[in-house]
Structure 1
Amino acid sequence: MNNLLHIERDQELLQGLAIDDDKSLKAIYLENFPMIARMVQQHNGSEDDAKDVFQEAMIILYEKVQEGDFVLSSRLKTFLYAVCRRLWMKKLQGAYREGPLAAETEDSIPVEDTLEAHAEKDLQFRKMEESMGKIGEPCKTILEDYYIHRKSMQEIAERFGYTNAENAKNQKYKCLMRLKKLFFAQQ
């Protein structure tokens, strides 16, 4: 999905949120909560903590959208991630105000750097997705089987009719080099 489609989708969701459309609210939750849950859990939180933080962020977003003059200057998921991250860091600081964690947390995780890194990863994932779409078969399936579905070389060899796992491994390497070439051609 290209960036223009993402922007249009985000705008549709915000418009739906502005008119209290439950479908938009559900879509925002389904598309963004897993990322927030991972972030909170990676920083000493639980899933319940993530739900609380996400709910607070949604209230902030809802209030901004209701004001009518809110302009989203990034992807919606980037905005929510930044708000949730800031809220979670504040909660951590409050919980450990008397301990050294508050200073460490603030210094070690600047939100601006995180947003840039998140945007860069998002761009890299889109490029990889595009490259995977161009690579063709059987390379696409071989790489997905190995890296995503965690199948062994022997399973891949059997699926594609290679004489042994070593031949499948050689083919996977060739596919990986082709994917690498397609990916870096986009740089």
Structure 2
Amino acid sequence: MVKTVNREHLLMELYKSAFPPLAKYVARMGGSVDDAKDVFQDALVIYYEKAVAGSLITADGKAYLLGIAKHMWFKKFREQNNTFPLDDTWEQADETEQQICNNKVLQFLETAGKRCLELLSAFYYHKLPMKEAAEQFGYAGERSVTVQKYKCLEKVRDTVKERSLTYADFIE
């Protein structure tokens, strides 16, 4: 009886933690909430069977469950929409997620100020060498640019720490 209660509790916790991200994912990929529920229930059954058999690959149940569900959704999505190859679907999802992440990162970079944003953009985005960056931004030398770049990054880190943000805040 105790094991049954623990299993039910574990499954409910997995449902609460893993279903919302899957529902968002399925919605982004053109599915409905009902589609997400169907796929999630099937994935939960597979997860449960593997857990009972002792053949789970990882200890992180949420990640494993989401992996199963996403795989099942892609399979279902591909069957429903034969006109979209799986590679295109992945690229579209990756582009959307990347764009959202970039917008959030840009917002935090802007908190460091315009000059910092320009300096970091020149270094990381345009791959400008330190010597050229020193000339372009009017610094005495490469060391000065390096120090300024570090200070700019620290401003951004402080903002992130101040708001108690985690990696998940940038991708969800």
TM-score by length of 1: 0.45
Tell which structure's C-alpha radius of gyration is larger. 2
Normalised TM-score (structure 2): 0.49
